[in-house]
A and B are shown apart, each in its own frame.
Chain A
Amino acid sequence: MIVAKTGNEAIAYAMKQINPDVVAAYPITPSTEIVQIFSNYVSDGEVDSEFVAVESEHSAMTACIGAAACGCRVMTATASQGLALMHEMLFIAAGLRLPIVMAVASRSLSSPLNIHGDHSDSIASRDSGWMQFFCETVQEGYDTLIQAVKIAGKAYLPAIVAIDGFILSHCQERIETLNDQEVRDFIGKLQPNYNLLDWRNPILVGPATLQDYYFEFKRSEIEGMNRALPVIQEVQEEFGKRFGRSYPVLEEYRCEDAVAVLLVMGSACGTCRVAVDRLREQGKKVGMVKLRVFRPLVHTLLKKSLAKFKAVGVLDRVDAVNSYGGPLFTEVGSVLYDLAERPRLFSYVYGLGGREFAPEDAMAVYEQVLAGKKDELVTYIGVR
């Protein structure tokens, strides 16, 4: 069905179709409507989900973990300070290998207070062991959430699906929805890794492991993430075959003979497409590489793609405060380091606190990357 929906509405609608067993959530801008709309579905009896209204995001994630440990399909949504408050529990969800799926309407972190979109919240959760998907459009957010439920259930890893706060969460887009049956057939029934309530097969969840076993359990968790990429690709492929919309983990846009490209995540990919089109009209050999999955880090794909170009500008919608460039930039630098011939790499930080990032801004960046000349390590786009 073709409908007009904001990102939040689309995410809530996907959650309704997914019909998770348990949703425990605490509303926070700009993700509030996801929880609000979903709780309406619960009140109206349109889903079978148990909705747990909790007193904080820490409790939200805690309740999600408890429910998921009992074999339930579990979802939640949050943003910014809410995700930060969940931080402790994120690691526990991942360590217990629970397939919780969380929509994040990406937002900056205080202080100073700002409710608008950047990637500070999700990227700050980078090392928690959650898969992270960054979406370009509302349609992609809707589709990715449905995919993520299946991916998480197969890989036994929790997943964040991030839509840029306000830019996607609050802007209406024409999207194509699937019907309920299609969604349910696609995601199938969750085959839980274990079930704490199965008294016939008693288990202990969350044991203390000391110097003798903690490291081995962590190594096993790391391997789970190492092996997530084929699962993601398989589910994406199946989604594409069934519904005709596919999103590669890493997409090259007009990169055929490109000399300079920008590596981008999230809604700014759309902005960069416009910039690329305009510059191509002027005969400039530029392209864009869109990274849709931040965790697992798809290093082989990144290496293969980026090695082709003379210069790569890496766009980060977050700053890691005195790191050697933005978070994605430092990762890409490590990925490319052992290549005999590697592109020149430039770090750009843009759009913090929802600061406008227009096609003209992207075009200026392209000109600089094309020229291959930049004096400062990190360029903060548009900062006065």
Chain B
Amino acid sequence: MATKRLKGWRELPCGAIINDMGAVRENKTGAWRSMRPVWNQEKCRQCLLCWIYCPDSAIMLADGKVAGINYEYCKGCGICAQICPAKVIEMEKERK
């Protein structure tokens, strides 16, 4: 990560709000996942329920279809695996 000048307290918005959207692009938040969802592309029916339910918008789409899971943000909560009617997402132990 490039060194960034950190703002001083006088430059911060009142009330600790974040008003420049997009901070999440700079902060990858998937590092503390202990379970990893593994998606089986061949068996997927493309119902998009996982995309709807994912609380972290970590289901990636391409041309309106599920294209994979963004592990830079996925926290491994398992909601996608639970909600999937075809059971094509399996939770595996994260090995690092």
Contacts and interface: CB of A to CB of B under 8 A. Distances in A.
Interface of A: 95-98, 156, 193-194, 201-207, 209, 212-213, 215-217, 219-221, 223-224
List 8 A-B pairs, minimum CB-CB distance, nearest first: A97-B15, A204-B18, A219-B9, A216-B9, A217-B16, A220-B9, A203-B19, A203-B17
Given A96-B15, A193-B14, A207-B16, 4 more contacts: A95-B16, A97-B16, A203-B17, A203-B19
Interface of B: 6-10, 12-19, 21, 23
A220 B7 contact: no
A204 B9 contact: no
For chain A, what secondary structure do more than half of its interface residues adopt (helix, strand, loop), or is it mixed? loop
Contacts of B12: 213, 216-217, 220
Contacts, number: 58
Contacts of A221: 16
A15 B90 CA distance: 55
A97 B16 CA distance: 8
B16 A206 contact: yes
Contacts of A201: 19
Contacts of B8: 216
15 contacts: A95-B15, A96-B16, A193-B15, A194-B15, A203-B17, A204-B21, A207-B16, A207-B17, A207-B18, A209-B16, A212-B6, A213-B12, A216-B7, A217-B16, A220-B12
A98 B15 contact: yes
A193 B15 CA distance: 8
B32 to A, nearest CB: 12
A153 to B, nearest CB: 13
Q: Which of B9, B14, B16 has the most CB of A within 10 A?
A: B16
A248 B59 CA distance: 60
Contact of A220 (B14, B18, B21, B23): B14
Contacts of B9: 215-217, 219-220, 223
A205 B7 contact: no
A86 to B, nearest CB: 19
Given A213-B6, A219-B9, A220-B9, A202 B21 contact: yes
A190 B36 CA distance: 47
B10 A194 contact: no
Contacts of A219: 9
A221 B18 CA distance: 15
B10 A220 contact: yes
Contacts of B16: 95-97, 206-207, 209, 217, 220-221
Contact of A203 (B6, B10, B18): B18
Contacts of A217: 9, 12, 16
Contacts of A209: 16
Contacts of B19: 194, 201, 203-204
A269 B92 CA distance: 68
B14 A156 contact: yes
Nearest to B17: A203
Contacts of B18: 203-204, 207
A14 B67 CA distance: 59
B17 A204 contact: yes
Best-buried of A204, A205, A212, A221 by chain B (most CB within 10 Å): A204
Nearest to A96: B15
Most buried by B among A207, A215, A216, A223: A216
